[in-house]
Structure 1
Amino acid sequence: MAMLSAYRRAAADQWLASADAAFGALDEAICLVSGNGALLHLSAKAREWLEPTGGLQVRQGRLWHPVAGMRDALQGALRQVATRPTTSHLATTGSRDGACLHLDLARADVSLRMGDESMVFVRMRRGRPSALASADGLCMTFNLTPAEGRVLAALIDGESPADHARSYGTSIHTVRKQIAVLMEKIGCTRQIDLVRTGLGAL
């Protein structure tokens, strides 16, 4: 039994080394993460991109983001992908230069499992440094008013409803009403699902 486990580990290490090289040649990074965010493997490029001074980073052996909304979206996506046969896409800031990181998440092959726990394979691609959410694009995608598009873009970028209200000189009650309308239009029951759906449309 111990020999089988050592063989599986060697095969997994070989597969990850090959994947590191292949994705690195495409200027992409990979990591292997548990459903609760614990990192088991980071490619060299992922280590380079996930700097402690940037957006998405490694903190205490886990993927972490300083913006609570992004952190919640990431944790929710990891849990969902680890427990269901689905994929997910997130876009977030990744490094101190403000470049956008596009994360594609999929359940990893069973050969990469840790015991009974499914792992999540994360592919990272860098995008151009720009605002993460385009309010105009969100308006077109979800048939929103310009004000609703700005609110959704702000939520995706990690801004709180109160901060958005202050930025646009409107009341928090107006912003909360716009969020309720957004949830109805997009078909979400929770704000985190609204952010996740908006991120998926980027």
Structure 2
Amino acid sequence: MRQAGMIEAVETKTDPTPFSSDVANAVLNRLTFGVVVVDEAARILSANEQARLYLDVGDGVLDEAGRLAAEIGFESETLRRRIAAAAETGRSDAALLRRSRSAKPLVILIEPAPALTGERAVLVTIREVGRASPRVAERARQLFHFSPAEAEIVARVVQGLDTAEIAAERQVSINTLRVQVASAMVKVGVHRQAELVSVLSSVDMLD
């Protein structure tokens, strides 16, 4: 019997508000890079507007009878093999794809994402080398407590510059630069430069 003045706690359940596909599409279309969801055979399941800009004109990547392909024909086999491997093993990968309209290749990040469809789906993100936001250094410094030098260096790595170019730009030795990149990887908790690029490419996703 409940005593007078006592407050009874009643457990209630609230059904979560369904996340509208229109809202999801609006968010994806605000991303500053292309996003394509494919299955293990590289069949295109979905693509945001930025990805469609590349696919529709065949700029580095294209829609080849419903399958994701590289503009440079022989690179398609490698791309599809990496997609299949990501779906099979659950491991991420990265690649550079050349383009006929630009000297700068596309950075392709391949991430297994079975939760999206319940099957062996793979999320493929497409970025232009050198197009990283100028805010990457600032946000990376805040998130991972980089030193100012580390933040600037990793921002340039995300932009697609190689070690020699960054060392020449900053007037330091390649060995010094490698030590700073290694220090940044430790702070982020990754072991490969491709993983570092993948993480840091995500710190400034929206326009």
**TM-score, with structure 1 as normaliser:** 0.52
Asked if the contact 2:83–2:110 (Cα under 8 Å) also holds between the matched residues in 1, the reply is: no
Pairing 1:56-67 to 2, within 5 Å after superposition: 57-58=61-62, 61-62=67-68
Asked if the contact 1:132–1:157 (Cα under 8 Å) also holds between the matched residues in 2, the reply is: no
Residue ranges of structure 1 left out of the alignment (5+ in a row)? 1-18, 67-74, 88-94, 97-102
Kindly provide the CA deviation profile for residues 104-129 of structure 1, in whole angstroms up to 9, marking residues without a partner as x. 9632424xx5xxxx1236699xxxx8
Report the structure, 1 or 2, having the larger helix content: 1
Q: Which amino acid aligns with 2:117?
A: D
> Aligned in 2, Cα 1:133/1:160: closer, same or farther, shift over 3 Å?
farther
**Distance in 2 (alpha carbons) for counterparts of 1:25 and 1:136:** 23
Alignment root-mean-square deviation, CA? 4.7
State percent identity of aligned pairs. 24
The structure with more radius of gyration: 2
Asked if the contact 2:158–2:200 (Cα under 8 Å) also holds between the matched residues in 1, the reply is: yes
> Aligned in 2, Cα 1:23/1:176: closer, same or farther, shift over 3 Å?
same
**TM-score, with structure 2 as normaliser:** 0.51
Q: Which amino acid aligns with 1:156?
A: V
> Aligned in 2, Cα 1:65/1:185: closer, same or farther, shift over 3 Å?
farther
Partner of 1:168: 170
Q: Which amino acid aligns with 2:187?
A: K
Q: Which amino acid aligns with 1:147?
A: A
**Distance in 2 (alpha carbons) for counterparts of 1:32 and 1:200:** 17
**Distance in 2 (alpha carbons) for counterparts of 1:135 and 1:80:** 29
Residue ranges of structure 2 left out of the alignment (5+ in a row)? 1-20, 73-80, 93-100, 103-108
Q: Which amino acid aligns with 1:58?
A: L
**Distance in 2 (alpha carbons) for counterparts of 1:40 and 1:188:** 29
Q: How many pairs align?
A: 150
Q: Give the drift of 1:140.
A: 1.2
Matching residue within 117, 120, 129 for 1:109: 117
- Structure with the larger RCO, 1 or 2 (CA within 8 Å, 6+ apart): 1
**Distance in 1 (alpha carbons) for counterparts of 2:196 and 2:48:** 33
